[in-house]
Amino acid sequence: MTKFSLGRYLLPTYVFLTFLFLMIPIGYTFVFSFNDSIKSNIIWRGFTFDNWLNVCDQADVCSAFGNSILIAVTATVIATTLGTMIAIALVRYRFKFRSATNLLLFLPLATPEVVMGAGLAAQFLDFGWSKGLGTVIIAHVMFTLSFVVVTVKARVATLDPALEEAGRDLYASPAQVFRKITFPLLLPGILAAAMLAFALSFDDFIITQFNSGAVDTFPKFVYTAAARGIPPEANVVGSAVFLVAIAIVIAVQVRSTLKQRKLSK
Amino acid sequence: MAFVAFGSQAPAKDQNPTKGGRVALWLLLPGLFYLGLFFITPLISLIITSLKQPSLSGGIGRYDLGVEFGNYAYAISQYAPQIFRSFSFALLATVIALAISYPIAYFIAVRARDRPLLKGILLTLVVAPFFISFLLRTFAWKQIFSNDSFIVNVLKDVGIFGADSYIIGTNFAVVFGLVYNFIPFMTLPIYANLDRLDLRLVEAGSDLYASPATTFRKITFPLSMPGIISGTLLTFIPISGDYVVASRDFLGGPDTAMIGNVVEANFLRIQDYPTASALSVMLMATIVVLVSAYVKRSGTDDLL
């Protein structure tokens, strides 16, 4: 369409303004990580690098961050393993109870966090398990598992079964076929799923609050601190995590763009 | 759910699933057993707990097994406003988020289709908020709208606001925060759907002298329905159970509490587990009704 249409300029302007709006709180958090605050981090008092250089002056922020990393890594490893197995079975095999399996995997995605959190906490009470690192990890594996399945499943579906067949024709054992063909081809999907699981676990608050007992995580620290004002060191941790994550996303995108260019040559 | 589908655009290969009962079983069993133990039985625990009665031996947080349906009556009579607020906030925020997100998803999927760099940048910007804790983002809005903030002062200076007006603690602030937090959840599934929209269909519409508005109404919009439904569920469900935004320490006030806030207070603070569980069961039941309407529409294979 060459004729003038309002939509041509209206839509891009709208998109630009909405993205600006989406970025406001991110920018705010970043800017106030440099605030030379004394007690509360509400009023701008001047620029300083101190908060970035001495994050662990706020020992609570650092230990909560450490716990979050530990929980997210452990939960990611377990959820990615279990989820990948399920994803392969769903695409590759016909079996009974398929729709029941789909439903069981879908339900956690469709359950409000507060219900999963309270339910698990009620069960731990009934079992007499005391809440701590272990129960948080159990909870995180539970709610990230379905996300892993969805992500890996998309990758399994693009896999050409002929490749594995070729391996078998050349007398590779099933284990060799998996190790040399299936797994390397699935790896990008598995890594994407792992990154997603890590991000979900790291950022989770509601399920964690119900099942962590005295263990502090970074989101839990922020929630508790909100009552008296969040210290700038929390902004530092949040901003740093943001920068690392964005760097990873950009790296992945650049890599896949380069790969596509290579292929099209 | 097309939540993460935007990462993988390669076409599906014909898998011709084989019958392999044994192998499939061993691949499925550990994960499904896990979900059974830590997702399904907790829901049953929740129902059992919601029917418990206070322990005869007394003590805070001590309850015995029972069939006390009165817990539900109590929860409803005590917390009707919060229950009503949860669903009306969730509905309102979902509708607003849809209105804001659809044009963005459309722009990325259709207008930027042949410009991979722009598309990549825009998609990164859509997911960018996920990379910084949503508690920090929500708290940032609290600071931005706080009583002596720049924005509130400007509103007072130009006379839109009276001298003692405020934003934080109002229903507006809570719905605003909910909409903000869930825009990406709405945008991504709609984008994933529109990305597969066959533009030749739109072209056919205009070839047949349909106006752009008619083409959109008759072709683009109906075809994007699955994306809209996914996005709506992904937004409505988490919002209905959220209690961070409406918390008094964030954007809420004394009269903005939602179901989540009440469940949190009853479960974690005053240890009234039966009331908290009854509220959770009612929330879950409502969601199940909603989701089964969805399943009826599109079957179980489309869910994941």
pLDDT of residue B298: 63
pLDDT of residue B188: 93
Which parts of chain B register pLDDT below 50?
Answer: 1-9
Whether B42 maps to a domain, the answer reads no
Indicate whether A4 pLDDT > 80: no
Distance (Å) of CA A17 to CA A23, B124, B188? 10, 16, 18
* Confidence label for A41 from pLDDT (cuts 50, 70 and 90): confident
pLDDT of residue B13: 63
Domain boundaries, chain A: 6-246
pLDDT of residue A76: 97
| Across A222-250, average pLDDT | 91
Q: Which residue has the tokens 């709006």?
A: A21
Please identify among residues 121-180 of chain A the ones whose CB lies closer than 8 Å to any CB of chain B. Answer: 121-123, 125-126, 138-139, 141-142, 145-147, 149-151, 153-161
- For the segment A106-151, what is each residue's pLDDT rounded down to a tens digit? 899 999 999 999 999 999 999 999 999 999 999 999 999 999 999 9
- Name the minimum distance, in Å, from the CA of B203 to any CA of chain A: 11
Please identify among residues 225-284 of chain B the ones whose CB lies closer than 8 Å to any CB of chain A. Answer: 233, 237-238, 240-244, 247, 249-250, 259-260, 263-264, 267-268, 273, 276-277, 280, 283-284
The DSSP call for residue B130 is G
Whether B214 maps to a domain, the answer reads yes
**Non-local CB neighbours of B262 within 8 Å, separated by 6+ positions:** B79, B82, B276, B279
Residue whose C-alpha is closest to residue B282's, from B127, B100, B87: B87
- For the segment A43-95, what is each residue's pLDDT rounded down to a tens digit? 787 888 888 888 887 788 999 999 999 999 999 999 999 999 999 998 888 88
Cα atoms in the Cβ-side hemisphere of radius 13 Å centred on B54: 8
Decide if B216 touches A, using CB distance below 8 A: no
Alpha-helical regions (H) of A54-182 = 59-92, 98-106, 113-127, 133-157, 161-169, 174-177
A213 contacts A133 by C-beta, under 8 angstroms? no
Whether B49 maps to a domain, the answer reads no
Mean of the per-residue pLDDT values for chain A? Answer: 89
Q: What is the CATH number of the domain that holds B275?
A: 1.10.3720.10
- For the segment A147-169, what is each residue's pLDDT rounded down to a tens digit? 999 999 988 888 888 888 898 89
Nearest CA in chain A to B206: A1
φ, ψ (nearest 5 deg) of residue A132: -175, -155
Residue whose C-alpha is closest to residue A233's, from A34, A23, A24, A26: A34
The DSSP call for residue B170 is S
Distance CA A75, CA A77 (A): 6
Domain count for chain B: 1
Find the domain containing B212 and state its range: 79-298
CB contact under 8 A, A118 and B276: yes
CB contact under 8 A, A157 and B20: no
Whether B171 maps to a domain, the answer reads yes
- For the segment B119-171, what is each residue's pLDDT rounded down to a tens digit? 989 999 999 998 999 999 999 999 999 877 778 888 888 877 777 778 899 99
Whether B40 maps to a domain, the answer reads no
A66 contacts B264 by C-beta, under 8 angstroms? no
CA-based end-to-end distance of chain A = 32
The DSSP call for residue A57 is G
Which superfamily does A6-246 belong to? MetI-like (1.10.3720.10)
- Name the minimum distance, in Å, from the CA of B159 to any CA of chain A: 24
Whether B248 maps to a domain, the answer reads yes
Distance CA A194, CA B22 (A): 27
